[in-house]
Amino acid sequence: MQKRILGKSGLEVSALGLGCMGMSFSYGPPKDKQEMISLLRTAVERGVTFFDTAEVYGPFINEELVGEALAPLRDQVVIATKFGFDTSIDPRGTKGAPVLNSRPEHIKQVAEASLKRLRIDVIDLFYQHRVDPDVPIEEVAGAVKELIREGKVKHFGLSEAGVQTIRRAHAVQPVTALQSEYSLWWRRPEAEVLPTLEELGIGLVPYSPLGKGFLTGKIDESTAFDSTDFRTTLPRFAPEALKANQALVDLLGRIAAEKNATPAQIALAWLLAQKPWIVPIPGTTKLHRLDENIGALALELTPDDLREIDSAATQIKVEGARYPEKLEQLTGR
């Protein structure tokens, strides 16, 4: 497995990580625990060393799952988790949007609880899940800096933060990685975020690098999602948007046919080719999908391939917002 380094801090991880959220949360009912433990351990056997979770996934059950699965393999893995929501108040945000809480005392409580659930003595990468407008980012960075000093956290990360927030946080405690959505159907980070990360020496960890499953080519306007699947709430997954956005999947399919690959592999290879400090974290609950995703690392996209993809993709107007308005408001602050 190829390795990549996130940020100037020297955090080395596998070039492809594994997003664990869907094993317990958001994509339908939680999956069978023993099957997921087996999948997580197989991922390590395949060379994956970077695993992503959060206290809000469940809440709590995803961290517990990751902790149980990876405890015997602790010295081989990097575990990232997140703080920033008040899990005592409607963590699924069914009344609109989840309640944010990044007060320093809360961050410390979350860290202690996450350490226990994950069965570890230090959190490798601790992200603020969403920027809290009620708490200055300098205070947030200061609280994590203290946790780093105490040996409870190794690296500080932000998720879906805006450029000014990234700069202010980085000035207090160097930011190792920004986690944000980035893929062929969400390219907004290219305008301001990527240049800022490059300038400051911060890694990018794209979540939903396969467009929440859409870029695999396995979803179309007739796909029926489970009622507990959060994609039922996303404007971009409305049938008319899926129909309009099919052009992007068709493009990936054409390139994939030429390369003897799958659309998902082309989407991941495209992301990996953008910058050497980008580490996507596609999630999956199936072993054959894990192997398919890892297969993207063996794909070589030439400069001509990348130009062709870029040129064709810019002709396609992606339809539908990626989140309902209240959730979209939590991003880019």
CATH of the domain at 267: 3.20.20.100
pLDDT for the residue 29: 92
Residue 89, pLDDT above cutoff 80: no
> Is 57 part of the annotated catalytic residue set?
yes
Q: What is the mean pLDDT of the chain?
A: 95
Mean pLDDT of 123-136: 98
For the stretch 183-199, pLDDT in tens is 999 999 999 999 999 99
Q: In this structure, is residue 285 part of a structural domain? A: yes
Q: In this structure, is residue 323 part of a structural domain? A: yes
Least confident interval from 20-24, 62-66, 217-221:
217-221
Residue 62, pLDDT above cutoff 90: yes
Q: In this structure, is residue 267 part of a structural domain? A: yes
Q: How far apart are CA 3 and CA 232, in angstroms?
A: 35
pLDDT for the residue 18: 98
pLDDT for the residue 295: 98
Domain range for 14: 3-328
pLDDT for the residue 95: 56
Residue 92, pLDDT above cutoff 60: no
Residue 242, pLDDT above cutoff 90: yes
Q: How confident is the model at residue 91 (pLDDT cuts 50, 70, 90)?
A: low
pLDDT above 90 as % of the chain:
95
Radius of gyration of the chain (CA): 19
Residue 90, pLDDT above cutoff 80: no
Q: In this structure, is residue 98 part of a structural domain? A: yes
For the chain, the three-class secondary structure string (H helix, E strand, C coil) is CCEEEECCCCEEEECCCEECHHHCCCECCCCCHHHHHHHHHHHHHCCCCEEECCCCCCCCHHHHHHHHHHHHHHHHCEEEEEECECCCCCCCCCCCCCCECCCHHHHHHHHHHHHHHHCCCCEEEEEECCCCCCCCHHHHHHHHHHHHHCCCEEEEEEECCCHHHHHHHHHHCCEEEEEEECECCECHHHCCHHHHHHHHCCEEEEECCCHHHHHHCCCCCCCCCCCCEHHHHCHHHCHHHHHHHHHHHHHHHHHHHHHCCCHHHHHHHHHHHHCCCECCCCECCCHHHHHHHHHHHHCCCCHHHHHHHHHHHHCCCCCCCCCCHHHHCCCCC
Q: In this structure, is residue 333 part of a structural domain? A: no
Burial of 88 (0-12, 13-18, 19+ CB in 10 A): exposed
Q: How far apart are CA 79 and CA 66, in angstroms?
A: 9
State if pTM tops 0.95: yes
Mean pLDDT of 297-317: 94
pLDDT for the residue 9: 87
Structural domain total, the chain: 1
Burial of 6 (0-12, 13-18, 19+ CB in 10 A): buried
Q: How far apart are CA 74 and CA 51, in angstroms?
A: 11
Catalytic residue among 57, 127, 182, 207: 57
Residue 219, pLDDT above cutoff 90: yes
For the stretch 244-298, pLDDT in tens is 999 999 999 999 999 999 999 999 999 999 999 999 999 999 999 999 999 999 9
Q: In this structure, is residue 96 part of a structural domain? A: yes
pLDDT for the residue 56: 95
